[in-house]
Amino acid sequence: MCERLDYDFSELEKSNNSFLYEFGSLEAAMRQLDIMWEIKEYLKKRPRATIVNLGCGLDDTGKACDNGLCRVMNVDFPDVISVRKQLIIERCCREKNVACDIKDHSWMDKADGSDGIIFFAAGVFHYFTIYEVKSMVLELSKRFPGGCLVFDSVGKLGLKLMMKTALKNMDISNVKGLFYVNNPKRELNWSKNIRVTSRNYMLGYYDMKSPNIRFSHRLLAWIADRVIKMSINRMDFV
Ligand SMILES: C[S@@+](CC[C@H](N)C(=O)[O-])C[C@H]1O[C@@H](n2cnc3c(N)ncnc32)[C@H](O)[C@@H]1O
């Protein structure tokens, strides 16, 4: 896919053996694995459910969780969806791409929750304000009882440290009001119709005790979970 993108990867490739670059790759892989774990758990009970990838970019997690019965809906801005359509083949009847700003709740009209529905947002809500996330969550909980939402978050320190470069690249200078969570269970307790559970992002699902993973990376993973407060949150709409 990278070869088919009109993008110069050479600058990135220069650092691809560095300690932090490796950790960044590991971190992105863990996020996707954690989210896949939650989706597969949900599909065990609702195998025909719809998986909704919010701010999908070129991520194909929906397909990676395919059990042959579920449906997949990918949502992102129109320009992103247009590139996605050129690079990733959409399966005709069980997958659809929706071009929409997810802050505009009209995309929800296109989501079918009749057989269960699981929404996920990977690396997306950091660019939203807390009010935008909360208003979307409350609307989802009203429209889709029995559904659930899974997303990653960082704490206040994490938002300042880790997102600094990303936010600068996106021309966002004022991080005030942007979404961060220090204590998910307490801070995401937005409605009696929402049950919140949360796990550590790096070590909450897998212990990373693989001979291929260095001790120093595991230590950094622990710091990411405990100090940066990276977590994977699940909100069940009851
Ligand atoms: C950091 S990328 C993550 C992409 C993908 N979720 C992944 O895990 O690789 C953030 C994505 O969110 C999308 N995004 C951000 N704000 C959005 C919005 N308001 N509506 C739709 N998509 C949005 C961006 O276009 C981008 O594709």
pLDDT recorded at residue 167: 66
Task: Among 33, 53, 77, name the best residue to mutate to test ligand 1's pocket (greatest count of ligand atoms within 8 A of Cβ).
Answer: 77
Does 11 map to a domain?
Answer: no
Answer whether 113 contacts ligand 1 (Cβ < 6 A): no
CATH number for position 136: 3.40.50.150
CA of 221 to the centre of ligand 1 (A): 24
CA of 52 to the centre of ligand 1 (A): 13
CA of 55 to the centre of ligand 1 (A): 3
Q: Which residues are within 8 A (CB) of 10 and not within 5 positions of it... i.e. 6 or more apart?
A: none
Cα 144 to Cα 50: distance, rounded to the nearest angstrom: 11
pLDDT recorded at residue 142: 97
The DSSP call for residue 129 is: B
Does 6 map to a domain?
Answer: no
Does 216 map to a domain?
Answer: yes
pLDDT recorded at residue 217: 93
Does 1 map to a domain?
Answer: no
Answer whether 56 contacts ligand 1 (Cβ < 6 A): yes
CA of 90 to the centre of ligand 1 (A): 18
pLDDT recorded at residue 128: 92
Answer whether 102 contacts ligand 1 (Cβ < 6 A): yes
Answer whether 101 contacts ligand 1 (Cβ < 6 A): yes
**101-106 CB contacts, 8 Å cutoff, 24+ apart:** 101/77, 102/54, 102/55, 102/75, 102/76, 102/136, 103/128, 103/132, 103/136, 105/136, 105/139
Each of the 238 residues of the chain gets a pLDDT tens digit; together they read 888 888 898 888 888 888 888 898 999 999 999 999 999 999 999 999 999 999 999 999 999 999 999 999 999 999 999 999 999 988 778 999 999 999 999 999 999 999 999 999 999 998 899 999 999 999 999 999 999 999 999 999 988 876 666 667 666 666 567 899 999 999 999 999 999 999 999 999 999 998 988 999 999 999 999 999 999 999 999 9
Does 5 map to a domain?
Answer: no
Torsional sign, CA 52, 77, 33, 192: negative
Answer whether 123 contacts ligand 1 (Cβ < 6 A): yes
How many structural domains comprise the chain? 1
Count other C-beta atoms under 10 Å from residue 73's C-beta.
22
DSSP string for 158-188? HHHHHHHHHHHHTT----TTB---SSHHHHT
Expressed as residue numbers, the domain containing 168 is: 16-237
Q: Residue 182 is which amino acid? A: N
Secondary structure class of 232 (helix, strand, coil): strand
Answer whether 78 contacts ligand 1 (Cβ < 6 A): no
pLDDT recorded at residue 5: 87
